Amino acid sequence: MIAESDLPYLKRCVELAREALDAGDEPFGSVLVSAQGEILFEDRNRVAGGDHTRHPEFEIARWAATHLSPADRAATTVYTSGEHCPMCAAAHGWVGLGRIVYVSSSRQLIGWLNEMKAGLPPVRALPIQDIVPTVPVAGPVPGLAEEVRALHERRHAQRGRSA
């Protein structure tokens, strides 16, 4: 379930996704929030340099492993513009982070990519629950998900032009 209090963080994720797209990366952004509601860490996709593991959710897991106790990690919420890929879901689980709230689902993303006749990712888009079944997960968020879709459409249009 998504609460009114989740919305500012989700909007920040979409903003970070837009920043990533503007910088030539893929439109994804994520924030790590403490039990008290403080943003502890945030990042955006940074794959344009050629390292396709530079996902924000992966960076969040690494940051949390270095900076937070296991109890603090479990009390966090990770907000993200797009549902975690299997790599990031696994990192989330191994590090022991808490709830996940995503704006748009992997299923939506694959549907959009198919509609745009864009290439599919090399890693299968499994639901988070298939990778880390005990993590509470909420999403997608109607309305905001359409903003994410528009970013992916812009990304695809840009790639079409440069191809």
How, if at all, do strands 137-138 and 99-104 pair?
parallel
Query: Can residue 88 be called a binding residue for Zn ion (CB under 5 A)?
Result: yes
Piece of 19-27, 72-80, 85-93, 111-119 that binds Zn ion (CB under 5 A)? 85-93
Near Zn ion by CB under 5 A: residue from 12, 18, 44, 55? 55
**What letters, b where the CB count within 10 A reaches 16 and e where it falls short, cover 11-39?**
bbbbbbbbebbeeebbbbbbbbbeeeeee
Using the minimum distance from each CB to Zn ion, give the nearer residue, 71 or 139.
Answer: 139
CB of 139 to Zn ion, least distance (A): 15
Query: Can residue 64 be called a binding residue for Zn ion (CB under 5 A)?
Result: no
Piece of 14-22, 47-55, 120-128, 155-163 that binds Zn ion (CB under 5 A)? 47-55
Residue type, 151: L
Beta sheet of 99-104, edge-to-edge order: 39-44, 29-33, 77-82, 99-104, 137-138
Contacts to Zn ion by CB under 5 A: 55, 85, 87-88
